[in-house]
Amino acid sequence: MQPPTAPSITLFLLTLATLTLFPPPASASHKNTTLPPLPKSAHASLLKRWYGVKPLHAHSAVVGGWGPWPIMCPTLPSQTQPIRYCFKDARSATTLQPIVDQAVAKWAHALHPASSLQIGLDHAGAKVCSGPAVRADALVISDESRPEDPQWKWEECDSQSTVGYNYGSDERARHTLAFCHLKPGDESATEAKAVQVMMHELGHVMGLQHEHQRPDRDETLTYVCKNLEAYEQGVKDAEYDVHALYDDDLALKDRITLICLDAQSATVYLPDALAFIRGDNMQVDRDDERWPDYAAGGPLDVDSIMIYDSNLAAKNPDAGVSGWVMYQTNGKKPVWMGGSQDASKTSISSGDVERVKQLYPLRAAGGNDKRDQADWGQQALRVRIRDSFEMIVEPPRTMEREL
């Protein structure tokens, strides 16, 4: 039973600035490169768990490349860094707005006033991106399901997002969240999973990468490539090598190692492995500097919303540890996205909150870091969005088990 006195945060949309504001509570898918460590900070507790784009530093800007979403409204008492979104079309707005609302609410403990991050519509009066008032850099959210197409298969559709904010382009719709996890005609049965995946995809949009793809993940996790559903076909394809990736005398066992652990080979012969390959082996294109530019620090967070389920993409997902694609090495325990196998019980972790604080520190208008003043996330919150949605959000999951 939730306490009736849970603090409240309410989302407002300002017609002029079109920013999402959370006021204070009244009673939320290569080659061997070494990732740079996070810069040392006096806020040591905020360096606990991390993998994603590099933070912006005070009085600095990103020159090209990807980073956290930019600072806006610097004259407010606290600077804000809003993720501003719109929907690709009216159908996407109708089907996905309730999913987005729930996912944002479940991130509430990491949002303003815990950090400078806010999430909301780019323009209060225009949900669809084609509206003239919607800015070119807004995140475009789209429902990629195709219920009118008899050839379309829901189980083969995947949700994908851009990671962070692209400072190297001014192209319209350069930030995208393509969503596939709400099954047409079976929305009620797939809603919990859809909200869980939307939380995960919003983490990408914030600038967070997969926790299980950190370069140091082998210290904590065991990855079993042979348990991938497409493994046998990938091995056959690598053996015949119709794309001529390998020298003829390269042994099959070495080719298997490459399709499992190297993105250049996996892209061609075992794409399912791309979601599990370590980040230091993920750079396919030499011109793509995103993966080697990610920063990592602190221990891996097995309860993060940014980690995959142990049995995802497995050929025998119900076989337990013998069929898992990934598990905790210590004790052979599973990992679940958001800390629970039950999607309805998914939550962000305390580590997810800390990483958002690192990316989006709460600063006063004068530039002073206010993170130490943001003691937020220790109790349940009552979240209201646009006066049309309300839910109680439990505190973030705290990792108690030993790694």
Is residue 55 over pLDDT 50? Answer: yes
Is residue 36 over pLDDT 80? Answer: no
Residue 372, amino acid: D
Is residue 41 over pLDDT 60? Answer: no
Asked which of 43-57, 139-153, 255-269 is least confident by mean pLDDT, the reply is 43-57
Q: Would you state the pLDDT for residue 369?
A: 54
Q: Would you state the pLDDT for residue 262?
A: 93
Q: Give CA 187 to chain center in angstroms.
A: 22
- What are the backbone dihedrals phi and psi of residue 64, each rounded to the nearest 5 degrees, phi first? 70, 170
Asked which of 63-67, 175-179, 195-199, 220-224 is least confident by mean pLDDT, the reply is 63-67
Q: Would you state the pLDDT for residue 179?
A: 96
* CB crowding 239-249: b at 16 or more within 10 Å, else e: eebeeebbeee
What are 125-168's pLDDT values in tens digits? 889 999 889 999 999 999 999 988 888 888 888 899 999 999 98
What are 219-252's pLDDT values in tens digits? 999 999 999 999 999 999 999 999 999 999 999 9
What is the arithmetic mean of pLDDT over 363-370? 57
What are 10-19's pLDDT values in tens digits? 543 322 222 2
Q: Would you state the pLDDT for residue 380?
A: 87
- Closest of 155, 133, 131, 130 to residue 145, by C-alpha: 155
What secondary structure, in 3-state letters, does the chain show? CCCCCCCEEEEEECCCCCCEECCCCCCCCCCCCCCCECCCCCCHHHHCCEEECCCCCCCCCCCCCEECCCCECCCCCECEEEEEEEECCHHHHHHHHHHHHHHHHHCHHHCCCCCCEEEEECCCCCCECCCCCCCCCCEEEEECCCCCCCCCCHHHCCCEECCCEECCCCCCCCCEEEECCCCCCCHHHHHHHHHHHHHHHHHHHHCECCHHHCCCHHHCEEECHHHECCHHHHHHHHHHCCCCCCCCCCCHHHHHHHHHHCHHHHHHHCHHHHHCCCHHHCCCCCCCCHHHHCEEECCCCCCCCCCCCCCCCECCCCCHHHCCCEEECCCCECCCHHHCCCHHHCCCEHHHHHHHHHHCCCEECCCCECHHHCCCCCCCEEEEECCCEEEEECCCECCCCCC
pLDDT band at residue 377 using 50, 70 and 90 as cut-offs = low
What are 78-98's pLDDT values in tens digits? 688 999 999 999 999 999 999
pLDDT band at residue 353 using 50, 70 and 90 as cut-offs = very high
Q: Would you state the pLDDT for residue 3?
A: 43
C-alpha distance across the termini of the chain, in Å: 31
| Dist. CA 306–CA 200, nearest whole Å | 6
Average pLDDT, the chain: 81
| Dist. CA 11–CA 84, nearest whole Å | 13
As given in the structure block, the two tokens for residue 127 are 């949900």
As given in the structure block, the two tokens for residue 39 are 């810069």
Q: What percent of the chain has pLDDT over 90?
A: 55
Rg (CA), the chain: 21
Is residue 21 over pLDDT 90? Answer: no
| 313 vs 15: which has the higher pLDDT | 313
What is the arithmetic mean of pLDDT over 51-55? 75
Q: Would you state the pLDDT for residue 52?
A: 76
* CB crowding 208-221: b at 16 or more within 10 Å, else e: bbbbbbbbbbeebb
Q: Would you state the pLDDT for residue 155?
A: 81
- Closest of 348, 359, 361 to residue 399, by C-alpha: 348
pLDDT band at residue 298 using 50, 70 and 90 as cut-offs = low
Is residue 4 over pLDDT 70? Answer: no
